Amino acid sequence: MPKNTRIVVKLSGSLFFSEDFKQVVLSIGDALRERPELTTVLIAGGGKKAREYIDAASRFGADQATSDEIGIMVSRVNALVLATALGEFSESRIPETLRDVVEAAHGGDRVVAMGGLHPGQSTNAVGALVAEKLRASRFVNATDVDGVHTSDPRKSTDAKRIDRLTTKELEKIIGGESMKAGYYDLMDPVALKLLERSKIDTWIVKCQAKVINAALLGKRLGGTEIVYD
């Protein structure tokens, strides 16, 4: 497969069970029809449901590794819902290993829907790893905010979006983010290290139908582009 036909997209867990889910699925289908040569790996986050299960387990003394496993299971359920919604474009089998992903992507599947892989590894890191392994042309991290900002836009009206920044600059911005299971947010240190070593073209964008459709067609609407020194 030519490199420019492979794109990895991580979808925010907040998308699932939201009113936007159907529109995002339709937008992905539209992009795939416009670009029949495209092979896309879609990685589902765990979202609020994962955090609810993790919080319930933690009240009974669950350790972080177990909590990670719970989050992975929920993300895989989300991925199965996504695969079902995409119908003709996606196989219903959800990969559980990196080898599974490679086999599916090289086996002719138009879309590979998946969740997490390993404890201690966020779905952002999974996305970076899969993009590296497949030598994808781009990794798109679709989140619940429009890219990287000078401060949390959900809490501050003064937050300003940053159009482009390096991994080192992003690392400083997210330095205080939690590594607690189920609470990985914008990007975590593991994901950043993977991006730094592979230098995959990466966009952090809003998880919206028109934005994801544009990204699959090679256009960035808003968001932030990660560049490398």
- In tens, the pLDDT along 76-129 reads 999 999 999 999 898 778 999 999 999 998 887 789 999 999 998 899 999 999
> In the predicted model, is pLDDT for residue 49 greater than 80?
yes
> In the predicted model, is pLDDT for residue 229 greater than 90?
no
Q: Which residue, among 127, 120, 228, has the nearest Cα to 170 in the 3D structure?
A: 228
Instruction: Count other Cβ atoms within 10 Å, centred on residue 105.
Output: 23
pLDDT recorded at residue 153: 82
Determine contact, residues 192/129, Cβ cutoff 8 Å: no
pLDDT recorded at residue 4: 62
- In sequence order, what are the residues at sequence separation of 6 or more whose Cβ sits closer than 8 angstroms to the Cβ of residue 61? none
Q: Which domain holds residue 221?
A: 3-227
Domain count, the chain: 1
CATH number of the structural domain spanning residue 85: 3.40.1160.10
| Residue tagged 């230098």 (tokens) | 199
pLDDT digits (tens, 9 = 90+) for 85-94: 999 898 778 9
- In sequence order, what are the residues at sequence separation of 6 or more whose Cβ sits closer than 8 angstroms to the Cβ of residue 4? 137
User: Using CA atoms, how far apart are residues 69 and 35, in angstroms rounded to an integer?
Assistant: 35
Averaged confidence pLDDT in the chain = 89
Q: Taking each helix axis as running N to C, give the angle between helix 123-134 and helix 98-106, from 0 to 180 degrees, rounded to the nearest 10.
A: 50
pLDDT digits (tens, 9 = 90+) for 176-213: 554 454 445 678 888 999 999 999 999 999 999 999 99
